[in-house]
Amino acid sequence: MKDQEARRHRILLVDDNRALAENLAEILEEAGYAVVWAGSCAGALSLAAEGFDVALVDLKLPDGDGTALAPLLKELSPTGEVVLLTGFATLESAVAAVRAGACAYLVKPCATQELLVTVEQAMRQVRLHGEKRALAHQAQMAEKLAAVGTMTAGLSHEIRNPLNAALLQLTVLERRVQRLGGELHGPLLEPLLLVKDEIRRLDHILEDFLQFARPREFVPRPVELCLVVARVLDLLAGEAERRSIGLVREVSGAPGSTRVAGEEERLRQVLVNLTLNAIEATPDGGTVRVRCGPEAADPAPGAPGPGVCVLIDDSGPGVPAAARDRIFEPFFTSKAKGSGLGLSIVHAIVAQHGGTVEVDDAPGGGARFILRLPRLP
Ligand SMILES: Nc1ncnc2c1ncn2[C@@H]1O[C@H](COP(=O)(O)OP(=O)(O)OP(=O)(O)O)[C@@H](O)[C@H]1O
Ligand SMILES: [Mg+2]
């Protein structure tokens, strides 16, 4: 799972003095950062569109001013921070830095230690902003889930009763139609079975709602995640085959290396939802690849410890950038017959297990869902 290793923090270095820029880049790369360099405002703007964590920006550039460039860079990469580089430690340059929205400024030529400390401080700022955004998003999700729960408690019982009664009557009707035989049999039976199917779908949606309304007690036990993956893929093999979709499984690591603490039934629900989504997104004849294995002993930054990772790649259209923040919200769906609850259930269960679930691009196009859970020793 090399491609899932920690992404390096990206630094955008904007200075027209090539020798100095190379010097700074070398120091930063040695400290583990990925550095991209631009010698002008125009170059910086085109590189910033790809995103950066921290931009080090010279005050005087051949085609403009660093203080004017800084806000434009932040607009292009709103999660990034800017540090201004100046030739003189004057009060004006400090004021200019603050005005430009920079979080710090460095006087050139700066000592290695000073450079690294300032960049690390800016990175911390970036992380803090990220955590704040994540918390705000979680609070918003929790609010929505609470609303779903309240509504469900009131409605689902009332709806399910008449629904079950209707299903029962339809079954009676079906039996009678079957007894009729002859010419009437087909034309009567077909719409009847369609209505039965739709009622079952409604019942399934209500069942999903109930997950939110009655959160059960969580009793974690050791679960070998690779085995759950295998069971889920066996379960969905028929559906994939029907649409000529190749369902590829790859399990890595020694036995016992994908053990997590959790509830098998809920983890199965997570994997069913993610794999079904992948199958639904993939055109007939495409491929869905599910990989499960232990993560490298060196956990990703911010991760609670060594983990188990499941990657679900499909060859569908992928998730558009604009939808990525929303797909885990309850009711977000792009499907005519979807409830939009699948991924919000996934998110809630995974959080309960102390894990994370993210969406990315699959290397060959299509979507990649990345599930990480803490590994049991
Ligand atoms: N593998 C994927 N490829 C592309 N888009 C996806 C993928 N998985 C999820 N999505 C997008 O996320 C949306 C939400 O998914 P979610 O599972 O929550 O609901 P749904 O699949 O639409 O409905 P339900 O799961 O209730 O049948 C989907 O409608 C789709 O737009
Ligand atoms: Mg779904």
| pLDDT given for residue 207 in this prediction | 74
Q: What is the mean pLDDT of residues 177-182?
A: 82
Give 248 or 7, the one with higher predicted confidence: 248
What mean pLDDT is predicted for residues 187-206?
A: 85
Is the CB of 342 inside a 6 Å radius of any atom of ligand 1? Answer: yes
Q: Which amino acid is at 284?
A: D
Between CA 325 and CA 327 the distance in angstroms is 6
Cβ-based neighbours of 83, under 8 Å, separated by 6 or more: 54, 55, 56, 57, 102, 103, 104, 105, 106, 118, 119, 122
| Nearest atom in ligand 1 to 281's CA | 3
How much is the pLDDT for 139? 83
**Which pLDDT value is given to residue 225?**
96
Predicted confidence (pLDDT) at residue 7 exceeds the cutoff of 70: no
DSSP 138-174: HHHHHHHHHHHHHHHHHHHHHHHHHHHHHHHHHHHHH
Phi, psi of 211 (to 5 degrees): -55, -35
Contact 235, 251 (CB under 8 A): no
327 within ligand 1 shell (Cβ under 6 A):
yes
Decide whether any atom of ligand 1 lies within 6 Å of the 290 Cβ.
no
Dig out the tokens for 329 from the structure.
């919200």
The confidence score (pLDDT) of residue 109 equals 81
**Minimum mean pLDDT among 45-49, 95-99, 147-151, 317-321: which range?**
147-151
Residues 6+ apart with CB under 8 A from 324: 359
pLDDT at 12 over 90: yes
Average pLDDT over residues 196-218: 75
The residue-averaged pLDDT of 62-74 equals 92
pLDDT greater than 50 at residue 6: no
- Which region among 53-57, 146-150, 267-271, 372-376 has the lowest average model confidence (pLDDT)? 146-150
End-to-end CA distance of the chain: give it in Å, rounded.
Answer: 19
Q: How confident is the model at residue 95, as a pLDDT?
A: 78
pLDDT band, residue 36 (cuts 50/70/90) = very high
Predicted local distance difference test score (pLDDT) of residue 215: 64
Out of 277, 341, 371, give the residue to mutate to test ligand 1, the one with the largest number of ligand atoms within 8 Å of its CB: 277
The pLDDT confidence band at residue 298, using thresholds 50, 70 and 90, is low
More confident residue, 295 or 371: 371
For 314: left if phi > 0, alpha if psi spans -120 to 50, otherwise beta; the answer is beta
Which of ligand 1's atoms lies nearest the C-alpha of 340? 19
| Mean pLDDT for the stretch of residues 245-263 | 92
- 287 and 246 Cβ atoms separated by less than 8 Å: yes
Q: How far is the CA of 242 from the centre of ligand 1 (A)?
A: 20
Average pLDDT over residues 166-186: 86
Instruction: Give the confidence band of 301 by pLDDT, cuts at 50, 70, 90.
Output: low
Name the residue at shortest CA distance from atom 26 of ligand 1: 339
Model confidence band, residue 28 (pLDDT cutoffs 50, 70, 90):
very high
**Residues 212-217: what's their mean pLDDT?**
66
302: pLDDT strictly greater than 70: no
Q: Given a cut of 80, is residue 33 above it in pLDDT?
A: yes
Which of 145, 198, 314, 327 has most ligand 1 atoms within 8 Å of CB, for mutation?
A: 327
Ligand 1 pocket: which of 202, 335, 370, 371 to mutate (most atoms within 8 A of CB): 335
Question: What's the mean pLDDT in 61-76?
Answer: 92
β-strand partners of 282: none
pLDDT at 5 over 50: no
Flag whether pLDDT at 303 surpasses 70. no
Q: Whose CA is nearest to atom 29 of ligand 1?
A: 333
Q: What is the pLDDT of residue 3?
A: 36
Ligand 1 and 333: CB distance under 6 A: yes
Report the distance separating Cα 268 and Cα 264, nearest Å: 6
Lowest mean pLDDT among 205-214, 312-321, 366-375: 205-214
Stronger pLDDT, 61 or 137, i.e. the higher one = 61
| Average pLDDT score over the chain | 87
Mean pLDDT of 330-356: 88
Name the residue with tokens 């259930």.
345
Provide the percentage of residues in the chain whose pLDDT is more than 70: 91
Residue 292 is classified by DSSP as E
Confirm or reject: Cβ of 207 under 6 Å from ligand 1.
Answer: no
CA dihedral sign of residues 318, 142, 5, 77: positive
